Amino acid sequence: MRPDVILRYIGMVLVMLGAFMLLSAAVSLLYKDAAVLPLAYSGVITLLFGMFPMVFVPASPKITSNEGLLIVVAGWLLSCLFGALPYIFWGHEFTFTNAWFESVSGFTTTGSSILTEIESLPHGLLLWRASTHWIGGLGILIFVLSVLPAMGVAGMVLFRIELSPLARDNFRQSMRETSRILLYVYGGLTLAETIALVAVGMNLFDAVTHSFATIATGGFSPRNASIGAYDSPAIEGVIMLFMLLSGVHFGLLFSTLIQRRGPFWKSVVFRYYVTAILIGVVVVTIALGGQADNAWIDSVRHGAFQVISLGTSTGFATADSSVWPPLAQIMLMFFALQCACAGSTSGGIKADRFVLFGKGIWKQIRHARHPRAIIPLRVDGKAVDDQALAAAMLYIGLYATIVISGGLLLMVLGLDPLSAFSGTIATTGNVGPGLGTVGSFENFAGVPGPGKWILTGTMLLGRLEIYGLIMLLMPSVWRRLATPARQEFQRVVLASRR
């Protein structure tokens, strides 16, 4: 592996982050708030670090898969690290651990926060917080690939690694075209939601930050009480619609809405996604309807919002679900585990794997009845091989292992079981709020320091679909990375001795 080439590509990511930081600093300047210097200095440092490798390292259009993997994973980690700089410089509630937590939560579109008083943050910092969602929502590298000029084979390698394997199915176009489609759908949805929110009475700044958070299925709100602060059914309606759309495969959205290639309903995953959410809304509404002081209309309103919010891994809130009946909470946790479709900005196990899981079980049942029959497993008319099915099952198993281990570790650190497990489910699925002390109207400030590091680990595992981060921890990858540098060093040392 070539560390200098890897640094050059990561540099591109940092340049983009630096540009967003400077944009936030400009907004800070516009609002005459106190975050100008923290944002501007962070932007300059990030830009300088990003640009420097480009000065030395010539462009390399070809990279290996291992280099690509390292660029993607290290790109995410360094984005989170540099993204924490504005928080570190701002100070107040942001210790290094808290700044790292907020940054990772932003980029992974989790939306969990350590902030107790969000509204006291300056506008520039709030915009940066929302921007981390928007950059991370599409996938940092895909965002860069969509914006920057063609990068040839290297771009294809990075694109393949960054895009979830499940997400590639609905794209029939080339890498370059696909990244363009993603950016158009992403940008289009963001613009449409901003206009819709302004039209229903939200101010422009809040509309932009909420749109960034909705389309990225993030969940950071500039208000302490999240969407509940507005107490407006119209605003909730707009946000629910865009949360639902953001949970659909972007390729499917593009082919249905722009290319008019047939209805959403043709996709079995979309059918499952919508049906599951509808059932969830009905169950949660019934569970809430039995509560005193909870009129049916409120039950539908808050039930639907919460189910869609968690079912798309967004994490906005209009009500405190920590005090809801157990049935409603169990339903919400199911959606926090499942989340929406692959190819969207959503996190979690994904509806696609649940469809495969269900079809796999059905196949086994049929196989038990007809042991000699060859029963193909099909999704949208396409045969799915056993390896893909096994990969999906393995992923679900690994995901469950991470959730259980994370929950147990948090319990060891002193969290109650409900908060520990719901917190881990919410962060691994990049959903945001859990239940108990980390509920929708609470925050993660009370989680002990080591607990915050565990949760940021689960956020990154969830966002990078587990394997990416695990591969980075393997010694063989580091050995391969060190080899050329070591060889080069030995060459120079030996030469100087001659």
Single out the segment in contact with another protein by CB under 8 A; choices: 35-43, 111-119, 185-193, 354-362: 35-43
For residue 106, with 0-12 CB atoms within 10 Å meaning exposed, 13-18 middle and 19 or more buried, which class applies? buried
Select 58 or 263, whichever has its Cβ closest to another protein.
58
Q: Pick the stretch among 1-9, 140-148, 182-190, 467-475 that binds another protein (CB under 8 A).
A: 1-9
C-beta of 366 vs 491, nearer to another protein: 491
Supply the minimum distance, in Å, between the C-beta of residue 103 and another protein: 14
Q: Of the candidates 4, 298, 320, 416, which one interacts with another protein according to CB under 8 A?
A: 4
- Strand-pairing partners, residue 384, are 377
Q: What letters, b where the CB count within 10 A reaches 16 and e where it falls short, cover 211-226? A: bbbbbbbbbbbbbebb
Out of 23, 57, 286, 471, the only residue in the binding site for another protein (CB under 8 A) is 57
CB 277 within 8 Å of CB 301: no
What whole-number distance in Å separates Cα of residue 266 and Cα of residue 194?
A: 29
Which one, 476 or 496, has the nearer CB to another protein? 496
Q: Please state, in angstroms and rounded to a whole number, the distance separating the CA atoms of residues 213 and 465.
A: 20
Residue 148 CB-density burial (10 A; 0-12 exposed, 13-18 middle, 19+ buried): middle
Q: Judged by CB, which is closer to another protein: 203, or 483?
A: 483
Q: For another protein, which residue of 20, 89, 212, 230 counts as binding (CB under 8 A)?
A: 89
Restricted to residues 479-498, the positions that interact with another protein (CB under 8 A) are 485, 488-489, 491-492, 495-496
Site for another protein in 327-346 (CB under 8 A): none
Residues 428-487 binding another protein (CB under 8 A) are 485
Cβ-proximal residues to 480 (8 Å cutoff; 6+ apart), any chain? 1, 66
> Which position among 77, 88, 225, 283 is part of the footprint of another protein (CB under 8 A)?
88
State in angstroms the smallest separation of the CB of 454 from another protein.
24
Burial of 302 (0-12, 13-18, 19+ CB in 10 A): buried
**CB 44, min distance to another protein, A:** 6
Contacting range for another protein; rule: CB under 8 A; set: 51-59, 174-182, 305-313, 410-418: 51-59
- Would you mind telling me the total number of residues written for the chain in this entry? 498
Structural contact between residues 63 and 419, judged by C-beta atoms closer than 8 angstroms: no
Q: Is residue 55 involved in binding another protein (CB under 8 A)?
A: yes
Largest CA distance in the chain: 87
Q: Which of 12, 17, 85, 158 binds another protein (CB under 8 A)?
A: 85
The pair phi, psi for residue 384, each rounded to 5°, is -110, 125
Based on the shown chain and the rule CB under 8 A, indicate whether residue 117 belongs to the binding site for another protein: no
The answer to whether the CB of 56 falls within 8 A of the CB of 4 is: yes
Among 6, 17, 28, 49, the residue binding another protein under the rule CB under 8 A is 49
The answer to the question of residue 3 lying near another protein (CB under 8 A) is yes
d(Cα 9, Cα 481) in Å, to the nearest integer?
A: 15
Cα–Cα dist 468/118, whole Å: 32
Nearest approach, Cβ of residue 156 and another protein (Å) = 21
For residues 57 and 198, which CB has a smaller minimum distance to another protein in the complex?
Answer: 57
Residue 487 C-beta: closest distance to another protein, Å: 10
Residue 379 DSSP SS3: strand
HSE-up of residue 77 (Cα within 13 Å, Cβ side):
13
7: contact with another protein by CB under 8 A: yes
Least distance in Å: CB of 71 to another protein? Answer: 16
User: Taking CB under 8 A as the rule, does residue 53 contact another protein?
Assistant: yes
Query: Of 32, 58, 263, 373, which one interacts with another protein (CB under 8 A)?
Result: 58
Q: Is 29 in the site for another protein (CB under 8 A)?
A: no
Total residues at the site for another protein (CB under 8 A)? 28
Indicate which single residue of 22, 26, 31, 41 sits in contact with another protein (rule: CB under 8 A). 41
Instruction: Evaluate whether 104 touches 447 at the Cβ level (below 8 Å).
Output: no
Cα distances from 344 to residues 157, 187, 213, 435, 491, in angstroms, run: 20, 13, 14, 25, 48
Closer to another protein by CB, 58 or 475: give it. Answer: 58
Angle at 233 (CA atoms; ends 135, 292), nearest 5 degrees: 115
Q: Which stretches of the chain bind another protein, using CB under 8 A? A: 3-4, 7, 37-38, 41, 44-45, 48-49, 52-53, 55-58, 85, 88-89, 91-92, 485, 488-489, 491-492, 495-496
